[in-house]
Amino acid sequence: MLPVTIEEEMRSSYLAYAMSVIVSRALPDVRDGLKPVHRRILYSMRESGFTHDKPYRKSARAVGDVMGKYHPHGDSSIYDAMVRMAQSWSMRVKLIDGQGNFGSVDGDSPAAMRYTEARLARAASFLLDDIDRDTVDFQPNYDESEQEPQILPAAFPNLLINGASGIAVGMATNIPPHNPGEIIDATLAMIERPDMTLDDLLQYVPGPDFPTGGTILGRAGIRSAFETGRGSVIIRARAEIEELRRDRKAIIITEIPYQVNKATLQERIADLVRSKQVEGIADIRDESDRSGMRIVIEIKRDATPEVVLNQLYRFTQLQTSFGVNMLALDGGQPRLMGLKEVLEAFIRFREEVILRRARFDLNKARDRGHLLVGLVIAVANIDAVIALIRAAPDAATARAALMERAWDAGDISPLLALIHDEGNVVVDGRVHLTEAQARGILELRLQRLTGLERDKIQQELSEVATRINELLEIIASRPRRLEVMRNELATVRAEIATPRATDIADYAGDQTDESLIEPGQMVVTITREGFIKRTPLDIFRAQNRGGRGRTAAGRRGDDIIIRSFNAHTHQWVLFFSSGGKAYREKVWRLPEASPTAKGRALVNLLPDLGEDSITAVLPLPQDEDLWENLHLVFATASGNVRRNRLSDFRNIRSSGLIAMKLDEGDRLIGVATCREGQDVFLGTRNARCIRFQITDETLRVFAGRGSSGVRGIRLAEGDEVNSLCVLGHVDATVEERAAYLRIANARRRAENAAQNGDEAETVPENATMDEEETSTDLALPPERVAELEAAEEILLIVSNAGFGRRSSAYDYRVSGRGGQGINNMSFPTARRGNAVVATLPVLAGTDVMLVTDAGRLIRLPVDQIRIMSRQASGVTLFRLNDTEEVTSVFPVMDDGSDEDDAADANEVSGDGEDGAAPPAGADTDADD
């Protein structure tokens, strides 16, 4: 007994176990690309005669032979390995031809081995051919009752073509499959040019080729794997977007990534839909059949298929990463190899196989040639041979007599040299036969003595001599061996080459959902009942003022549009609720719908909204770099205002963020972006307004979001603020602004006079004039007029009766915060309407939209609206029905409408009514 420390014993025993697992179980050999279990299955089936040209045999019989002779493990592990070699979605080139249920890509288990049948596939024969010609070494099986090959004489690089995966002790391998034609082409190129670089090989093998198809994204991972043996390859399913029927599209998946379970994939998609992590999916069904795979994912009408598909790539196995780890046994040792190293190892092995086969065939040819020499000698001396045999009492005596006698060699001497026969030595033209030759002569049949048969013996001897010469050339010349290898590879390629199944696409990184959305302008509308939608702006065609408009939205009952705005698809939008919370969403995430659709409920878009309603919406600048220098100004219906940094609202969780503390009964009416030094303009429903500058003294920046703000305007009883806008501040005295307005108004009156029958400016007799409206004799120099004109802003004021006007912002003096303000519009008794709907700045050359409580909408150029004084009641902008009122007004950008729309500017669309709008500058309802 020898004492051994437990540490040493554990170390040595564990290392022995680890090496046993590595070499004898988990890792494939670089030469034939097989693990021991696969090698034993293929060899056993060949030995049992289950080849591709024989009938199918029960799988249980093949498994029993493997288990009883070569692989002393459980039958289930052998059958599982056998099943995988018969699955077309697991192997790039199948090695087993199975009949019956061998599982499915859905993860279904194969039928029991007693029900299925199998035989070797045609490709397996190329791995086993010449195994009985001393091409590889054999070893005893587990009980030394049989011999099994240590390796198979593979005729093609099976390791790369079919790949391999396995987990050993402390190491693992994961080699992807490749296209057989490409790999063989690369091998042929390597034989011609052993100094090929990786870039040269990539011309033949662009990347892995998975049996399930799909698309490989990017080439960096492929290059890393081919160069170092390690890399990550991104595989994406093959999907297309089809239109099933009108307004309904579907994502059709025809190929999935390698080693992905189709049934599990569909369950994962269903789970994402139930948890609302992926929205926009209406239905999912599997329409796969014998013709191929087809998974149909039906998309909701208001969802974007490209976005849904991108989310599925992100959250499901429709896009996976294949971690390449090209670890294999080379010379019995685990080695991490790249593409070139694997091909070099295969070429070395295959050359050795050809060399050993040539030596084996040479020995066989020499043995045959030796016998043929004896037959030729016997035929040449046939009478003497027959006499000797007849005189011998038995076969042994006859054999001895044949060997003792020296026979006439005749012309056999050149043949002996040709076949390199060392058994027969010619002396003085005579030769002695060997024992093998004597036995052959005694076994010679009489029919071989005919003239024809004698010629055949001579011909065969010549052919053997030629064959021996070829084999000697193969053994002596490496170029000749490589030529044989090329010819055999070309033969294999013709049998197993197939078109590439996996595409390779350039890939810069993960695509964001937003990158899939086509940029464009959208009209976003929100109804009183909380429905929201977005509609492409170019659907709405510009009309002249006074037209009938078109239907803007379908309504439920008495639901009306309360808010509309124009925004870019990639803009952020802040939503402010009646409870003082802020939510953030991209415009493209809002549901897209037609002009007549009702849209989608906001409570579904913002699940944490609860019973609150959205009272203010703010589209943010598309360039987020501008956010650092911007502030937000809040205004409530009660007249309170507050200023915060926009950065306070950069990170808003899905459940919302407290934006402003509101007093009981108060609500937000508007939020706008602003900068230090600009002016805040507040307009009320009862036509009062106030303008004050944004400074730290008048309106400081609040540090938190929990404040209710400070008073912006003092309201009369029953009045409320309904308009908030931010204007540029111009340093001009009261006299300068009054003088400029006098000059500008005179010019505008002259321009209006040139128009036919335009509406006159209406000012009630009881309208009060502010101190700034008194006349002044101040004369402004031309350069100051030009300076004020460049900085002038124009406001649009619209009443609920569809009347409106434009006025210069200079008409509104800058005062202190918290005052009662000044008059914004007058309401003549002759006209319907007694409330201001909106006051907003507009630019020349742009359009505005007016929306009514009946769901009608009109878009008209602001240039058709006259610029009047602050006291004027305006002109007719929208011809309304008796009970209809304007509820929303907002500006729009360039509509991109066709130029010939001008010819159809008076066309009525969307509401089913006909009517013609009067020409620009004329209105029959005007007060002259």
Residues with catalytic roles: 115
Q: Do residues 343 and 190 lie in contact, with contact meaning Cβ atoms separated by under 8 Å?
A: yes
Q: What is the rounded end-to-end Cα distance, in angstroms, of the chain?
A: 127
Rounded to whole angstroms, the Cα distance separating 318 from 295 reads 11
Q: Do residues 640 and 685 lie in contact, with contact meaning Cβ atoms separated by under 8 Å?
A: no
Tell me the C-alpha to C-alpha distance, in Å, between residue 506 and each of 107, 234, 306, 405, 908. 31, 11, 18, 82, 50
Q: Do residues 838 and 802 lie in contact, with contact meaning Cβ atoms separated by under 8 Å?
A: no
Rounded to whole angstroms, the Cα distance separating 747 from 242 reads 59
Tell me the C-alpha to C-alpha distance, in Å, between residue 588 and each of 300, 302, 511, 761. 15, 11, 15, 43
Task: State the amino acid at position 855 in one-letter form.
Answer: G
Rounded to whole angstroms, the Cα distance separating 158 from 746 reads 92
Q: Do residues 851 and 869 lie in contact, with contact meaning Cβ atoms separated by under 8 Å?
A: no
Rounded to whole angstroms, the Cα distance separating 628 from 807 reads 32
Rounded to whole angstroms, the Cα distance separating 94 from 52 reads 12
| Alpha helices for 214-298 (secondary structure H) | 220-228, 262-274
Residue listed under structure tokens 């939503």: 575
Token duo for residue 215 = 């698309």
For β-strands 164-167 and 172-175, DSSP reports them as: antiparallel
Residue listed under structure tokens 């205002």: 641
Rounded to whole angstroms, the Cα distance separating 836 from 309 reads 46
Tell me the C-alpha to C-alpha distance, in Å, between residue 22 and each of 14, 228, 333. 12, 21, 9
Beta strands, E only, 810-874: 822-823, 836-842, 847-852, 856-861
Burial code (b: 16+ CB inside 10 Å, e: under 16) for 386-412 equals eebbeebeeeeebbeebeeeebebeeb
Rounded to whole angstroms, the Cα distance separating 79 from 66 reads 10
Rounded to whole angstroms, the Cα distance separating 158 from 336 reads 17
Q: Do residues 95 and 159 lie in contact, with contact meaning Cβ atoms separated by under 8 Å?
A: no
Tell me the C-alpha to C-alpha distance, in Å, between residue 299 and each of 261, 273, 524, 678, 680. 23, 11, 22, 47, 45
Rounded to whole angstroms, the Cα distance separating 146 from 838 reads 97
Starting at the edge strand found earlier in the chain, the sheet holding 503-505 runs: 164-167, 172-175, 319-325, 230-236, 215-217, 503-505
Q: Do residues 543 and 587 lie in contact, with contact meaning Cβ atoms separated by under 8 Å?
A: no
Token duo for residue 468 = 């021996």
Q: Do residues 716 and 655 lie in contact, with contact meaning Cβ atoms separated by under 8 Å?
A: no
Biggest distance spanned by C-alpha atoms of the chain: 161
How would you write 149-165 as a 3-class SS string? Answer: ECCCCCCCCHHHHHCEE
What single string gives the DSSP state of each residue in 738-786?
HHHHHHHHHHHHHHHHTSSSPPPP---TTPPPPGGGS---PPPPHHHHH
For β-strands 668-674 and 600-601, DSSP reports them as: unpaired
Token duo for residue 901 = 């729309």
